[in-house]
């Protein structure tokens, strides 16, 4: 009994706890929404409790102090809820920003991978073109990448040029008398065949 009475005496009254909670709400800045309304109701209940005690109504004074404590505790809970909601909203905002950054980063990575793939393909094509032999001129008619076959040696030996044919026989002298040509001045006329000498 003695211990219980000491514990009961050490426990603050409802009035003191209500006042402490109202002061804590005022210091924490709970000046908006339902927490503000709850703190205002707790102060009003404390004022009514003081008036009741001054009037000698201890019973109603005690009940009003308990009511003030309930309003103060409700304000405390509402303030905690509002703080939790604010933290949740902040976390959600940060999560949205992180998701946006993640999408941007993923897009940049995909673009970099595509550029890397194109560069690798171009490099492989360049290496392949370096290793391939040069193509023959288009005028030769050869197919690129094939060797032009050498001509096979002929089985028939080359023929020597034939000896020059015998000279053609000279034409025989004609028996017909040559046509008389005009004699040059100062030369005797040719003799007539069969004429008397």
* Domain residue spans of the chain: 9-131
The pLDDT of residue 35 is above 60: yes
pTM assigned to the model: 0.47
CB 68 within 8 Å of CB 46: yes
Tens-digit pLDDT profile for residues 126-157: 888 888 766 666 555 555 555 555 555 555 55
> Burial of 70 by CB count in 10 Å (0-12 exposed, 13-18 middle, 19+ buried)?
middle
Tens-digit pLDDT profile for residues 159-168: 555 545 455 5
Q: For the chain, what's the residue count?
A: 197
CB 45 within 8 Å of CB 67: yes
Please give the DSSP secondary-structure letter assigned to residue 11: S
């Amino acid at each position: 009994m003695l211990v219980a009475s000491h514990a009961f005496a050490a426990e603050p009254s409802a009035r003191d706890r209500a006042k402490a909670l109202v002061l804590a709400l005022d210091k924490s800045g709970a000046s908006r929404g339902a927490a503000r309304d709850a703190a205002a109701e707790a102060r009003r209940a404390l004022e009514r409790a003081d008036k009741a005690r001054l009037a000698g109504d201890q019973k109603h004074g005690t009940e009003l102090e308990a009511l003030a404590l309930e309003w103060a505790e409700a304000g405390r809970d509402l303030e905690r809820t509002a703080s939790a909601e604010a933290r949740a909203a902040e976390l959600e905002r940060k999560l949205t920003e992180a998701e946006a950054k993640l999408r941007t980063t993923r897009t940049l990575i995909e673009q970099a991978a595509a550029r890397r793939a194109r560069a690798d393909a171009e490099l492989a094509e360049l290496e392949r073109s370096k290793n391939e032999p040069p193509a023959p001129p288009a005028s030769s008619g050869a197919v690129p990448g094939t060797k032009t076959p050498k001509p096979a040696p002929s089985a028939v030996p080359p023929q020597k040029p034939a000896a020059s044919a015998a000279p053609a026989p000279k034409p025989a002298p004609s028996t017909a008398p040559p046509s008389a040509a005009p004699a040059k001045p100062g030369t005797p006329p040719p003799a007539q065949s069969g004429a008397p000498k």
